[in-house]
Structure 1
Amino acid sequence: MGDFKVLRLVTQGELSWEVETRYQQCYQLTRKTCKKIKDRVTVFQAPGGFLFDIFEIAEVKHWPDTDVSEFTSITEYVDKTLSGYFFDQELKSALKEKADFFTFGVDVFDVNNDKCFSHVELVATYDTKLGKVSCWTGKSYPTEDQKRDFINCPSLETHCQRLNGIRVLVLGCHDLNMFSPRSRASIAPGTSKEIVINQMQKLCDQFKPQVVLQHPHATDSANIWNAGWAGVRKFLPEVKTYSSAIHYFNTFGGEPRQPLTTVLNRTATRDVQNIVFTCFEDGGIDLV
Structure 2
Amino acid sequence: MSCNKPNWILLKECAEELTKAGKTPFTRKQLIECIHEKYPERGKSSLSPMIQGMTVNRKGGAPGGIGKNVFYSVGRGLFELYDPKKHKPSLGNALTAPAPKLPKKRTEIPTPKTRHDERCPKCKETVKKLLEKIYGKVESNYKFDIGTHPEDFRNTPYYDQLKEVYNALQNHRGFKVFVKAKTLPRCDFFIPNPGFIVEFDESQHFTLPRKIALEHYSKKFEFGFDVKRWASLCERINAKDSDPPYRDEQRAWYDTLRDFLPLIKGLKPTVRLFARDFTWCSLDSDNPTDIRKFEDILRGSFKSREINIRKDRHPFLARVILSREWDGNPEGAKKLLEGICKKWPKGEMVKFVITCGGFIQFDWPESLSRREIGDNINPNKECVDVLVREAKKYVKFILSDGLNEKLRKFTDYITLGIDSYKTKISTTQNYIGQPHIELVFLIDLRNNKTYWTGKSYPTPSQQNGLIRISDLKKHFFELDNVGKVMILGCHDLTVFNPRSKNATGWRERVNKEFRKLAQKEKPVIVLHHPHTTDSTLTWAAAWNGLMGELPFVKAYAGAGRYYNSEGERSEINDVLEKTKLGSTIDFIVL
Could you say whether these structures have the same fold, taking a TM-score greater than 0.5 normalized by the shorter chain as the test? yes
Q: Where does 1:190-269 land on structure 2 (aligned, <5 Å)?
A: 191-250=505-564, 253-269=565-581
Does the aligned pair in 1 maintain the 2:442–2:451 contact within 8 Å?
A: yes
Higher-Rg member (1/2): 2
Q: Distance in 1 between matches of 2:521 and 2:468?
A: 21
Q: Distance in 1 between matches of 2:531 and 2:508?
A: 24
Answer with 194-203 or 168-177: which moved more.
Answer: 194-203
1:9 maps to a residue whose letter is V
Q: Give the aligned partner of residue 324 of structure 2.
A: 13
Structure 1 segments, 4+ long, off by >6 Å, are none
Q: Where does 1:158-177 land on structure 2 (aligned, <5 Å)?
A: 158-164=474-480, 165-177=482-494
Q: Distance in 1 between matches of 2:394 and 2:559?
A: 23
Matched, 1:44 2:353: yes
Answer with 263-272 or 54-63: which moved more.
Answer: 54-63
Q: Distance in 1 between matches of 2:418 and 2:536?
A: 22
| Match 2:332 to one of 17, 20, 25 | 25
Q: Give the aligned partner of residue 42 of structure 2.
A: none
2:377 maps to a residue whose letter is P
Q: Distance in 1 between matches of 2:378 and 2:422?
A: 18
Q: 1:64 to 1:209 in 2, by over 3 A?
A: same
Does the aligned pair in 2 maintain the 1:8–1:246 contact within 8 Å?
A: no
SS in 1 for 2:543: helix
Does the aligned pair in 2 maintain the 1:62–1:150 contact within 8 Å?
A: no
Does the aligned pair in 2 maintain the 1:212–1:242 contact within 8 Å?
A: yes
Matched, 1:104 2:416: yes
More strand by share: 1
Q: Distance in 2 between matches of 1:173 and 1:147?
A: 13
Q: Distance in 2 between matches of 1:62 and 1:94?
A: 41
Q: Give the aligned partner of residue 286 of structure 1.
A: none
1:127 maps to a residue whose letter is D
Identity %: 29
User: Residue 58 of structure 1: CA displacement?
Assistant: 4.2
Q: TM-score scaled by structure 1?
A: 0.85
| Match 1:93 to one of 394, 402, 405 | 405
User: Residue 218 of structure 1: CA displacement?
Assistant: 1.0
Q: 1:264 to 1:62 in 2, by over 3 A?
A: farther
Answer with 89-98 or 32-41: which moved more.
Answer: 32-41
Q: Give the aligned partner of residue 283 of structure 1.
A: none
SS in 1 for 2:519: helix
Q: What do you get for the CA RMSD once the two structures are aligned?
A: 2.2
- The number of aligned residues is 263
CA distances 1:84-134 after superposition (whole Å, capped 9, x unpaired): x322132111111111000120011379xxx971111100001101225x2
Answer with 209-218 or 33-42: which moved more.
Answer: 33-42
Does the aligned pair in 2 maintain the 1:68–1:154 contact within 8 Å?
A: no
1:198 maps to a residue whose letter is K
Q: Give the aligned partner of residue 66 of structure 1.
A: 379
Q: Distance in 1 between matches of 2:444 and 2:588?
A: 23
Q: TM-score scaled by structure 2?
A: 0.43
Q: 1:64 to 1:262 in 2, by over 3 A?
A: same
1:54 maps to a residue whose letter is D
Does the aligned pair in 1 maintain the 2:350–2:412 contact within 8 Å?
A: yes
Q: Distance in 2 between matches of 1:75 and 1:94?
A: 25
| Match 1:55 to one of 353, 358, 364 | 364
CA distances 1:190-212 after superposition (whole Å, capped 9, x unpaired): x1111111111221121101111
Q: 1:24 to 1:109 in 2, by over 3 A?
A: closer
Matched, 1:77 2:390: yes
Q: Which gives a bigger RCO, structure 1 or 2 (Cα 8 Å, sep 6+)? A: 1
CA distances 1:16-38 after superposition (whole Å, capped 9, x unpaired): 36xxxx11211111112223333
Q: Give the aligned partner of residue 587 of structure 2.
A: 275
Does the aligned pair in 1 maintain the 2:315–2:584 contact within 8 Å?
A: no
CA distances 1:202-233 after superposition (whole Å, capped 9, x unpaired): 21121101111110001111211011101111
Does the aligned pair in 2 maintain the 1:181–1:227 contact within 8 Å?
A: yes
